[in-house]
Structure 1
Amino acid sequence: MKRLHIHISVDSLEESIKFYTALFGMEPTKLKDDYAQWLVEDPAVNMAISSGREKKGLNHLGLQVDSDEALAEIEDRLLAANIAGEKQDEAVCCYAESKKYWVQDPQDVIWENYHTMKNVEYFGGDTFTGGSGCCTPTFSKNGQWSAGGSC
């Protein structure tokens, strides 16, 4: 078995454990004073790259699910942990039409949680006003989402 490894340096281990426990729906597999690890069996990896963006490097991370119910479960877990997000019901981006729930971790890493409804023939023209789909909305420290600008 192969598994994608992601390691994020954090300011507050406690806040980040709360966030990732809610996001993944499980407690850490390994927990130390300065370290937490989740060995998540599901999901498998969906790796994407794109060109034509102003900002290079990590765009966002995400969890792709196979049903509206699974997306609602993620949203419910995050809301139960008092982690606000931004919902998109008809996002068109990255050659797909999807339902999405965006959140931001304590280190400002954007997470796109989504269920793809169908493929489309163009990269994206997402008209969602609270965010810009694959361009990743931004989240201000006052708790407000705003449109990203790199598409």
Structure 2
Amino acid sequence: MNRFHVHLNVADLSSSVRFYTELFAAEPTVLKADYAKWMLENPRVNFAISNTGQPPGVDHLGIQVDSEADLAILGQQLDAAGGAVIPEEGATCCYAQSNKLWTEDPQGTRWETFHTLGEATTYYANQAGCGDEGVACAPVKPQQSATPTRSKSCDSSTSGCC
């Protein structure tokens, strides 16, 4: 079953963790120095917050799926919606390994559809020595590139990152 995903950038992680722990009446399922995630069943949502140098507010919305087949179906739906769809296979982001498809709605809100393959030990791929402080996990915005690409944070030609 699909799960709605919300990712917020926060200015103060510890106060935000306290707030959302009380709001959801649940401890985070993942808690790191720069990231927290709640996998809630009611409502069924993957709610994540991070403090990685991005301005506070909604970073992106998304849908998490249980299989690659479900991801392919969502990819077809994204394509039919008319936005540029940017695949990101084997991405390391938010302490997880995932295959993703990114797009933006007509207002510029970023949407991530993804299938999580497993856990990761860093927020970003090759975080140690990466040199890209505050980079986002999302690839280049769809309107900036009509061909599949990865963001600066996941471009292997950029300082050995990702």
TM-score (norm 2): 0.55
**Contact preservation (8 Å) 1:110, 1:136:** no
Aligned twin of 1:138 = 141
Deviating more after overlay: 134-143 vs 89-98:
134-143
Indicate how the Cα distance of structure 1 residues 106 and 144 shifts in structure 2: closer, same or farther if over 3 A, else same.
Answer: farther
Distance 2:53 2:100 in 1: 21
RMSD of the alignment, in Å? 3.2
- Structure 2: give runs of 5+ residues left out of the alignment: 7-42, 155-162
Indicate how the Cα distance of structure 1 residues 70 and 142 shifts in structure 2: closer, same or farther if over 3 A, else same.
Answer: closer
Indicate how the Cα distance of structure 1 residues 136 and 44 shifts in structure 2: closer, same or farther if over 3 A, else same.
Answer: farther
Aligned twin of 1:99 = 99
Give 3-state SS (helix, strand or coil) of 1:71's partner: helix
Give 3-state SS (helix, strand or coil) of 2:59's partner: coil
State the Cα deviation string for residues 83-133 of structure 1 (Å, max 9, x = none).
Answer: 321001110110010000001000000000000000011111279xxxx76
Matched letter for residue 91 of structure 1? A
Distance 1:105 1:125 in 2: 27
TM-score (norm 1): 0.58
- Structure 1: give runs of 5+ residues left out of the alignment: 7-42
**Contact preservation (8 Å) 1:102, 1:112:** yes
For residue 134 of structure 1, report the CA deviation from its aligned partner.
Answer: 2.2
Distance 1:136 1:142 in 2: 10
Give 3-state SS (helix, strand or coil) of 1:73's partner: helix
Matched letter for residue 96 of structure 1? A
Matched letter for residue 140 of structure 1? Q
State the Cα deviation string for residues 5-33 of structure 1 (Å, max 9, x = none).
Answer: x9xxxxxxxxxxxxxxxxxxxxxxxxxxx
- The correspondence of residues 2-151 of structure 1 with structure 2, limited to 5 A, is 44-125=44-125, 134-135=137-138, 137-140=140-143, 143=146
**Contact preservation (8 Å) 2:64, 2:115:** yes
How many residues are treated as equivalent by the alignment? Answer: 107
Percent identity for Structure 1 against Structure 2: 36
Task: Flag the structure with higher strand content.
Answer: 2
Aligned twin of 1:24 = none
Deviating more after overlay: 136-145 vs 93-102:
136-145
Give 3-state SS (helix, strand or coil) of 1:47's partner: strand
Indicate how the Cα distance of structure 1 residues 76 and 53 shifts in structure 2: closer, same or farther if over 3 A, else same.
Answer: same
